[in-house]
Amino acid sequence: MMSDEWTESGQDDQSALVPKDATQHQESARASFASSVFNIMHAIMGSGILGLAYAMSSTGIIGFSLLLLFVAVTAAYSVHLLLVLCEQTALTTYEDLGFCAFKITGKVMVAGAILIQNIGAMSSYLFVIKSELPAAIAGFLHNSYNGTPWYLNGQILLLITVIFVVLPLALLPKIEFLGYTSGLSILFMVYFTIVVVVKKWFVPCPLSNGTVNYFQNFSSECKPKLLQISSKSAYAIPTMAFSFLCHTSVLPIYCELKRPSKSRMQKAVNIGMTLSFLIYMLSALFGYLTFYANVNSQLLHSYSQYLPRDPVIMSVRICILFSVLLTVPLIHFPARKSFMLLFCSSCPFSWLCHILVTLVIQTVIVLLAIYVPNIQNIFGVVGSTTSTALLFIYPGLFYLQISRESLKSSRKLKALGLIILGILIGAVSLLVIIITWLHNEN
């Protein structure tokens, strides 16, 4: 998940407000309805798509479908509440709505959640680099190795990539040009989904013994589960919440929309979420039907192990890696903005502070990518905490506080339901995840 705000953090948040008497130049720079849908999909779709097949394996096809539909509908409604508040208050950022609701406390709540959410997103992307870049290099080599040479070591390659590619881009004061290039990430996600659907018919079940040692113990059972509940199911909704979070980008996209209106923006959100839902559903379904219970928590890794030199899989891997390299610096900008708001809000822009904050954030996400053993842990923890807060809890909480409607009105009752739902989902999922960790360690 990523924000469309790519300028540096030293500016006043109120500068994002669009005056009613906008100039002709500003009007001509506004985004079309189609491009707004594209931007929403861009904000929604990210590394979460790689973990949804695993979520389906832990909940079953029917269970997953119902949960994914529920999260998508709920996400669309929480965006509706934010748009209503935006119309009532003329505020255009999530942080400003937090300030309007609970003053500095509300703004800090939102900034902290966005910071943690973006750190989790960047860590998941770097985890993909760590696991897929060695496979991408090995796919072009045909030698056998006794051990792992340095150029196939995921941690070394991750450090090289961050130091020489990600960090220089993240240090730039402005990064607008990457905003256009990284729009290719949606096309890569669509291409990834098409390959997942097609490859389902070329991968045998059970997987052939001897292809890769990892799959020699693959279960002979090739029947999909329709409904399943286990400790792994606790990762499902957090992963879905992580995958559908676009709320920090919706309001800036709203400001750029031609002929902006709440109903027009809501329609764009609904279309963007529906298309994202279809892409998510297809990739998860056919990824699960390819590997069944043995699907990896990072779907592409399953293909990497079973089809290490398949040219189509190699092309998908390269596309995903290219998308990651462009997206991580973009996500870094709103993360740094939130960090500055939390810890250096009164400080003017300085290159020293800019560089130090960048290095701190980069160090944290690299350490997480190196030492977190499973990408599902990132989806689970971040999804059950900040994702549920930004998607469920904060929209409902801010609406209850800001809106002047009666407490018994339909919207306020639904807002209260969102708050309760978010707290329950987050608390139960996080508790089960922690218990699972403790159980596995014992």
Question: Residue 206: what pLDDT?
Answer: 67
Decide if 71 contacts 411 (C-beta within 8 A). no
SS3 207: coil
Please name each of the domains of the chain with its CATH number. Answer: 13-441 (1.20.1740.10)
SS3 257: strand
| Encoded tokens for 104 | 């500095």
DSSP element (H, E) containing 158: helix 154-161
Question: Residue 322: what pLDDT?
Answer: 85
Q: Which residue numbers in the chain have pLDDT < 50?
A: 1-29, 209-220
Question: Residue 176: what pLDDT?
Answer: 59
CA–CA–CA angle 267, 276, 83 (5° rounding) = 35
Give the span between the Cα atoms of 40 and 177, in whole angstroms: 18
Give 23's contacts (C-beta < 8 A, 6+ positions apart).
Answer: none
Question: Residue 219: what pLDDT?
Answer: 47
pTM value? Answer: 0.82
SS3 268: helix
Cα dihedral 400, 406, 410, 412, rounded to 10, equals 10
Cite the beta strand spans of 158-234 per DSSP E: none
Cα dihedral 141, 147, 152, 157, rounded to 10, equals -170
CB atoms closer than 10 angstroms to residue 201 = 8
Alpha-carbon distance values, 24 to 21, 29, 33 (Å): 9, 9, 18
Helix axes 262-291, 247-256, angle to 10 degrees: 140
